[in-house]
Amino acid sequence: MEATIEVTGLRKRFGRTTALDGMTFTARPGLVTGLVGPDGAGKSTAMRVVLGLDTADEGTALVGGRPYRSLRDPLCQVGALLDADALHPNRSGRNHLLWLARSHGLGARRVDELIERVGLGDAARRRAGGYSPGVRVRLGIAAALIGDPPVLMLDEPFDGLDPEGVDWLRGLLRSLAEEGRAVLVSTPLMSELQGVAGHLVVAWRGRVVADTGVAELVADASRGRVALRTTARPEAMTALAGAGAAVAVTGRETLTVAGLAPERVVALLDAEGVPFSEVAAHRATLEEAYMDLTRDAVGFEPVAGGEESAR
Ligand code: ADP
C-alpha cells in the first residue's frame, strides 16, 4: 500500500460548532501537500482525526491504507508535529529525542543524526524551556522523523519562524518530499508554501473548496496577465483602466494588467506618452493564485501575508 494520508468525508462537531463538514483529501508520496485555509477551517481537527486524537462522527482517515490505531509501530509509519510547544521545559532537546527513540528501540545515533539534520546544534543540550519558536519547530520535526516515517504531517510549522527559519523549513520540506515521503503541511498563509507545495488542498468551514496541483493553479492565474514596469505608475494605471483593463499594483514600479493583450498595452502606453521599461507575460505568485482561487470558489478573503504580498 502506498504511503498516503487519505481522508474521506470526515464530519466532526464540537457541541454546536461544525469543525469538519465532509472534509476529503489525499496527500501523496513525493509531494508536499499544502492544507491551506483561514483559522477555524478545520485543518488541525482533520490532522487530529488522522492521528486518532479526535474521533470523527463520520468518514474515514487512513495512513498507508489503515486507520492510525491499527498501525504497528506508528512512529515508523507517520510522523507528526501538531504542537511544537508540547515539551518538558526542564529536559534538553536531546533528552526529549532520546526518550522518544528508546521507546521505539532506537539509540543515540539516530538522535544525533536527526539533531544534525534539523540543525539543532548546541541548543540540543540546553533546556527546552528556553527555546525560541524556531528551535522548538526544529526539535518537533526531529521528533516527527525519529522512526524515519514515509508520511509526515505538520500543523502550521511556519508559525513564529523568522525569515531565515522560513527559508530553512522550505528547504527541509522539499528534501523530505524528494526522498519520496508524503508531506502534509497546514498553514493559514499561502505565501509560506511558495516554491514548496506541489499540491494544494484549500479548506474552508470544514470542507475542501479546492484541490489542485500547484503548477496548474499558477499557470491558470498567470494566463492573460501582463507584467509592466514603469516609473509613471499612476499615468499607466489611468491609461490602462480607461481601456477596460484590471490593473493591480505589485510594487513601486510594477503593475499587473489583466484583460489586455501585451501589444495593446504597449500601443496604449505609447499613444499616451507613458514611459515604461518592460512589458512581459506575468508569472503569478502562489499567493496571487490562491487569492484568485478562493475568490472564485467561495468568496472568502484569505489572510494576506508573507514577503510575496508585501512586495
Ligand atoms: P484550523 O486548524 O483550521 O484553525 P480547527 O480544526 O482548529 O481549525 O478548528 C475548527 C473549528 O472547530 C473551530 O471553530 C474551532 O473553534 C473548533 N474546535 C476545534 N477543536 C475544538 C474543541 N476541542 N472543542 C470545541 N471546539 C473545537
Q: Which domains does the chain have, with CATH numbers?
A: 5-212+302-310 (3.40.50.300), 225-281 (3.30.70)
Given ligand 1 and candidates 35, 44, 45, 184, which is best to mutate, with the most ligand atoms within 8 Å of its CB?
A: 45
Residue 84 sits at φ, ψ, to 5 deg, of -65, -15
Question: 103: Cβ–Cβ under 8 A, 6 or more apart, which residues?
Answer: none
Q: Is the CB of 42 under 6 A from ligand 1?
A: yes
Each residue's pLDDT tens digit, 190-240: 889 988 999 999 999 999 988 999 888 888 888 888 999 999 999 999 999
Q: What is the pLDDT of residue 309?
A: 38
DSSP conformation letters of 127-162: BGGG--HHHHHHHHHHHHTTT--SEEEEESTTTT--
With a 6 Å cutoff on the Cβ, whether 19 touches ligand 1 is yes
pLDDT digits (tens, 9 = 90+) for 120-129: 999 999 998 8
Task: Give the strand pairing for 5-14 and 17-27.
Answer: antiparallel
d(CA 204, CA 39): 9
What is the distance in A from the centroid of ligand 1 to the CA of 196? 26
CA of 46 to the centre of ligand 1 (A): 10
Sheet holding 151-155, edge to edge: 78-81, 151-155, 182-187, 31-36, 199-204, 207-213
- Grid cell in block for residue 77: 509509519
Ligand 1 neighbour 236 (Cβ under 6 A) = no
- Cβ 147 under 6 angstroms from ligand 1: no
Residue 41 CB–ligand 1 contact under 6 Å: yes
pLDDT at 272: 94
pLDDT beneath 50, residues of the chain:
306-311
Expressed in angstroms and rounded, the spacing between residue 14 Cα and the centre of ligand 1 is 8
Q: How does DSSP classify residue 121?
A: G
